[in-house]
Amino acid sequence: MGRRTMTKAQPAGGRRRLLLAAWVVILLTTAAALAQGADPASHLHRIRLPEGFAIQIYARVPGARSLAYAPDLALLFVGSRRDTVHVVMDRDGDGVGETVLPLAQGLRVPNGIAYGDGFLYVAENHRIVRFDLKDWTPGRLLEPEVVYDRLPRYDYHGWRYLALGPDGRLYVALGVPCNICTTEDPVGAIARLNRDGTGFEVYARGIRNSVGMDWHPATGELFFTDNGADMLGDDIPADELNHAPRPGLHFGFPYYAGGRTRSPQFPGPVPVARVSHPVVEFGAHTASLGIHFYRGAMFPDEYRHDAFVAQHGSWNRTEPIGYRVKRVRFNERGQPVGKEVFAEGWLLPDGTAWGRPVDVEELPDGSLLVSDDYAGLIYRITYAPGPGSSATNP
């Protein structure tokens, strides 16, 4: 399981050059951002939101990636691409997480996290583990209990995303270890398994690198993001929002590089009976990651069951794009009907960035949290209607 073939794949030297170029861009962007000011939070006033919305710093967490809130414990858990999972506590309930502590350390890329029934589940690069929180006390580091230890191990796109589905099973996305290449199950797929580690199976195939999953609150059907291939131009291929209402669907990769753009490495007939194309196409290289369907009551009624998508931002585009949160509008039948920018301003006018959104989570009061691994921040977005507003909440 996990062995991969590299038919018509990018050569090893090309992959190294691609990675080197990415790191050069990131280092240059970092230097520019640091030149703008030592504290990224000093740029918070640059964030633009629709009227009535406001943003503040919720917590400072190094390398903040995936978010999982435990309502029964009133705790926020934060994954990373380092070796640590953090826990954030808002002890006085004022909407600011004033206490940030490591929950577990020494892990291998604990990017994906999901909470359920007193356990925090963590997808490392090579396995899924869990932490029993029933007797946890602040400051105590927890040791992992292995749930599943047979995930294929590789570095390129090796940060896993994890979600707990309405069927009670864990869903894990396994990105491909390449730019464009063929793979074997479960690589290039979303797999699912029971929370005790049994019943591992592939749910969806033909996926390049998904870092966001959520289920529509009314239909219970899965939607997930996917990142298009690099190095094919500024404006192609598209990043994606996909709909997987049932298992067994194929979403086109590597025959499609993203959206409806065919991969130049695979120009012939597509050896798949039917390809499920994206239901929403985002801009190329926006790096669309975490997705969350809004379920709360703080925002105006029109936001209920719409999706928020965090766009991490481009590294290989002539003019940078992304670095924002998009809103995808859904109708009453659970179908996407439009998209628009919800929050932007992490990209500076000179083309450098001071922050990069990663994931979106919701607090019990209906406010939204957005993680930023670049600035090491978690933001909280709230809504309060102004005088004379006609907005209503249930």
pLDDT tens column, 294-347: 999 999 999 999 999 999 999 999 999 999 999 999 999 999 999 999 999 999
Q: Are 145 and 194 in contact (CB under 8 A)?
A: no
Amino acid at 34: L
The larger pLDDT score, comparing residue 66 to residue 30, is at: 66
pLDDT digit string, tens, across residues 196-219: 999 999 999 999 999 999 999 999
Task: Check residue 24 and give its pLDDT.
Answer: 41
Q: What is the DSSP string of 93-150?
A: -SS---EEEEEE-S-S---EEEEETTEEEEE-SS-EEEEE-TT--TTPPPPPEEEE--
Place of tokens 């997808």: 123
- Spatial distance between the Cα atoms of 330 and 304, rounded to a whole number of angstroms: 9
| Residues near 352 by beta carbon (within 8 Å), at least 6 away in sequence | 29, 32, 33, 36
Q: Which of 279, 156, 160 is nearest to 229 (CA)?
A: 156
Place of tokens 């009976």: 273
| DSSP letter assigned to residue 20 | H
Q: Which of 278, 283, 179, 282 is nearest to 235 (CA)?
A: 283
- Spatial distance between the Cα atoms of 166 and 169, rounded to a whole number of angstroms: 7
Q: Are 353 and 24 in contact (CB under 8 A)?
A: no
pTM attached to this predicted model:
0.89
Q: For residue 240, what pLDDT band results from cuts at 50, 70 and 90?
A: very high
| Residues near 163 by beta carbon (within 8 Å), at least 6 away in sequence | 112, 114, 170, 171, 213, 214
- Answer yes or no: is pLDDT of 8 > 50: no
Cis peptide before 237 (omega within 30 of 0): yes
Q: Are 356 and 372 in contact (CB under 8 A)?
A: yes
Q: Which of 236, 365, 245, 371 is nearest to 308 (CA)?
A: 371
- Spatial distance between the Cα atoms of 134 and 136, rounded to a whole number of angstroms: 6
Taking the CA atoms of 12, 18, 24 and 30 in sequence, report the sign of the dihedral they define.
negative
Q: Are 192 and 173 in contact (CB under 8 A)?
A: no
Q: Which of 298, 287, 281 is nearest to 369 (CA)?
A: 298
What does the pLDDT average to over 95-116?
Answer: 98
- Spatial distance between the Cα atoms of 355 and 63, rounded to a whole number of angstroms: 11
The larger pLDDT score, comparing residue 394 to residue 387, is at: 387
Q: Are 381 and 296 in contact (CB under 8 A)?
A: no
Mean pLDDT of the chain: 91
Amino acid at 253: F
What does the pLDDT average to over 2-29?
Answer: 43
What does the pLDDT average to over 153-166?
Answer: 97
